[in-house]
Amino acid sequence: MKIWIIFFFSAAIQLSFGQKVEIAFRIPEKDLIPEGITYNPSTKTFYVSSISKRKIVSVDEQVRIKDFISSGQDGIGEVLGLKVAEGKLWACNNLTGDSSKQRQWSMSMIWKTES
């Protein structure tokens, strides 16, 4: 029994490593540090979020890369997860800062926008 379990496990590993992988696109911004990614099949657009840049980048079918939401636009913070649902782009983000009393504060938000 143990031999068959090892056999199936090793066969699964061989199949996953044997698949050909292709790069879909590259974002030239070296310090973007992507966190989340989602795809809108109706517009054929990928959305990539960035924690460090506090923005969302869109990549269309022709691999045109542009800021969908620019750094800090409308008070957006560190963008974490993304999801497209019913033509809307949902983004989860976190905004941190210092108050006048030198205390750290943090606020988490969910954004909804047309994708």
pLDDT in tens, 5-52: 444 444 455 555 667 778 888 899 988 888 999 999 999 999 999 988
**Chain center to CA of 15:** 27
pLDDT at 1: 44
In contact, 33 and 48? CB cutoff 8 Å: no
10 Å CB burial of residue 7 (0-12, 13-18, 19+) is exposed
Question: How far is 104 from 95, CA to CA, in rounded Å?
Answer: 11
Question: How far is 29 from 13, CA to CA, in rounded Å?
Answer: 33
Q: Where are the domains of the chain?
A: 25-114
* Residue range 48-81, pLDDT digits in tens: 999 889 999 999 999 999 999 999 888 888 888 8
- One-letter amino acid at 67 equals D
